[in-house]
Chain A
Amino acid sequence: KQEVTQIPAALSVPEGENLVLNCSFTDSAIYNLQWFRQDPGKGLTSLLLIQSSQREQTSGRLNASLDKSSGRSTLYIAASQPGDSATYLCAVLDNNDMRFGAGTRLTVKP
């Protein structure tokens, strides 16, 4: 059974700092991996989608990498801003089931 783990569970950084969020999964036979953002009281917002054949995706200040063989993905956020404060979740799609990590709650202090 696929298990997805996110470390750290919570992170607080000063504005402007670069940061990395980690996601690991136990079964490397995945179809794709996604990073999402979740704001209080709202649904998920998709940030980046990495297909199993890809190694990274970039969007603005965000860069996500995927190392399928080691079961790891990282989400790099450059020059963090208070508006980046949210919970970030990674999810893997494997064999028709989607598994989510528990999320990392990020707080960026002004």
Chain B
Amino acid sequence: GAVVSQHPSRVICKSGTSVKIECRSLDFQATTMFWYRQFPKKSLMLMATSNEGSKATYEQGVEKDKFLINHASLTLSTLTVTSAHPEDSSFYICSAEDRAFSSGANVLTFGAGSRLTVL
């Protein structure tokens, strides 16, 4: 079945540094990838929708200059948390929509998530 690989699974960084999280569709092409953030004791929040070859669409309240999203190929999207601060510490998860099914069965496959801790 479809597999989405998310890397790294856990990362600890110092305040002020930037962290890049990768989301790869391993055996299918994903025209659309979604990035989410999980706040403690709260539900998953959609941050942005990433379409291959175009700019990401950010949800209201999400700073696009802070959370840089790049979707340069049909199998890779990256989320870069720039100048990270402790309040950016969270669980980030991506999902990818299989291009083959984009017009029909809306198959979404999720990565396992990335736990970011900013010291």
Interface residues of A (CB under 8 A from B): 32, 34, 36, 38-46, 49, 51, 87, 89, 91, 93, 96-100, 103, 105
Q: Using known A-B contacts A44-B36, A98-B93, determine if residue A105 contacts B105 with beta carbons closer than 8 Å.
A: yes
Contacts of A51 in B (CB 8 A): 41
A93 and chain B: residue at smallest CB distance: B38
Interface Cβ pair total, 8 Å cutoff: 56
Give Cα A44 to B95, complex, Å: 9
Q: Report A-chain residues with C-beta under 8 Å of the C-beta of B102.
A: 41
A97 → chain B closest CB, angstroms:
6
* Chain B interface size range: 20 to 34
Residues of the A chain whose Cβ atoms lie less than 8 Å from the Cβ of B34: 43-44
| Complex Cα spacing A96 to B115, Å | 7
Bound Cα distance from A100 to B115, whole angstroms: 16
Residue of A nearest to B48 (CB): A43
Interface status of B49 (Cβ within 8 A of chain A)? yes
Contacting residues of chain B (40-88) with chain A, CB-CB under 8 angstroms: 41-46, 49
Q: Is the CB of A43 within 8 A of B42?
A: no
* Chain A residues within an 8 Å CB radius of B46: 43-45
Known contacts: A96-B91, A98-B38, A105-B105. The answer to whether A44 contacts B44 by CB under 8 A is: yes
| CB within 8 Å for A43 and B49 given contacts A36-B44, A93-B38 | yes
1/0 contact trace for B24-38 toward A, CB 8 Å?
000000001010101
Quote the shortest CB–CB distance from A61 to chain B (angstroms): 18
Question: Contact at A38–B106, with CB atoms within 8 Å?
Answer: yes
Known: A41-B106, A98-B91. A34 touches B41 (CB 8 A): no
